[in-house]
Amino acid sequence: MAAAEANEPRAPSQPAGEGTYFIDAEEAAELARLMQQDRLVTEATGGLLPEVEALPGAAQVLDLACGPGGWALELAFRYPDAEVIGVDRSPSVVDYANAQARSRGLSNAHFAVMDITQPLAFREASFDLINARFLAGFMRPHDWPRLLAECRRLLKPGGIIRLTESEWGLTTSPATQRYYTLCSEALKRAGQSFSPDGLHLGITPVLAPLLRQAGFTRVRLRGGVLEWSSGTPHHYSTFKNVFVMFDLLKPFLVKTGAARAEEVESLYQQAVAEMQADDFFAVWYWLTAWGEQP
């Protein structure tokens, strides 16, 4: 296939150094969580590409830090003439995504091991669209300008970059809110936060400025919200996503000194109980920023 060959990586790219992702990506529970989160977010945000009217014929698409490949696989299924490539630094996750592509007969979906904080092994002007969702879990502030410069190199003239990020959300659970605060503080301590005070992630206010500073034009924003209060359709799926994430984040909170192990465990148990209460109310916000390559 000519399209696939055009975007074949020039050389194998292995992750450099220890990863900064705040959860062990090799955990089976994290793989399952990311698969479920992919489906939830795609549905809640209005589809795979709600900001893009249509992909060009035989579009070349790159999905950054693709995880188990949920978004990329669905896009390859929806647009059989497109060539979709996902990259992630975890070899086991990439193996899983490639196996899923084969099992579903998606010959237009491919996955490769690459660390997106490093130069990517693709030719200049290779892609019509670059997508990324929820990079804040491992990206440091100084990584963003380098990544966006690399995206400028890889996009064709008129190509689109699309970034989706979120903050922690708001709930009526005191323990859940405290856990969110500890996570924000831990990321601040680890140097992985734009927040000036460590009380939130701080990624959403800087998305559009980062794109403009990188030289992208016609930068636009689209926000959204998902309610996951008790008794609502999205309560259980979002609750499951959050409590698994909280569980997997325990080592990170302790390692950064944000909290002691016994405090984290007690808070976790209380948050899980409060999120299942009949009087639990919650919303989760996200923001998509997209711009064009001049």
19 in Cβ contact with 114 (< 8 Å): no
Domain 2-292 sits in CATH at: 3.40.50.150
Across the range 271-289, mean pLDDT stands at 97
Handedness of CA 179, 224, 74, 61 (dihedral sign): negative
Residue 176 has pLDDT above 50, yes or no: yes
Residue 9: what pLDDT?
46
Between residues 55 and 13, the one the model is more confident about: 55
Please provide residue 56's backbone torsions phi and psi, each rounded to the nearest 5 degrees: -65, 160
Which of 167, 291, 290, 147 lies closest to 226, judged by CA?
Answer: 167
Residue 293 has pLDDT above 80, yes or no: yes
Residue 20: what pLDDT?
61
Across the range 193-222, mean pLDDT stands at 96
Which DSSP letter does residue 204 get?
A: G
Residue 21: what pLDDT?
63
Residue 12 has pLDDT above 50, yes or no: no
Q: Domain segments of the chain: what residues?
A: 2-292
Give the predicted TM-score (pTM) of the model: 0.90
State how far Cα 264 lies from the chain centre. Answer: 25
Residue 2 has pLDDT above 60, yes or no: no
89 in Cβ contact with 15 (< 8 Å): yes
Angle at 27 between CA 26 and CA 30, to 5 degrees: 105
pLDDT digits (tens, 9 = 90+) for 14-58: 333 345 666 766 677 888 888 888 889 888 888 999 988 778 889
228 in Cβ contact with 283 (< 8 Å): yes
Which DSSP letter does residue 283 get?
A: E
Residue 6 has pLDDT above 80, yes or no: no
pLDDT digits (tens, 9 = 90+) for 92-144: 999 999 999 999 999 999 999 999 999 999 999 999 999 999 999 899 999 99
Share of the chain above pLDDT 70, in %: 91
Average pLDDT, rounded, for the chain: 91
pLDDT digits (tens, 9 = 90+) for 82-98: 999 999 999 999 999 99
DSSP 3-state assignment of 127? strand
112 in Cβ contact with 93 (< 8 Å): no
136: alpha, beta or left, given left = phi > 0 and alpha = psi -120 to 50?
alpha
Across the range 200-225, mean pLDDT stands at 96
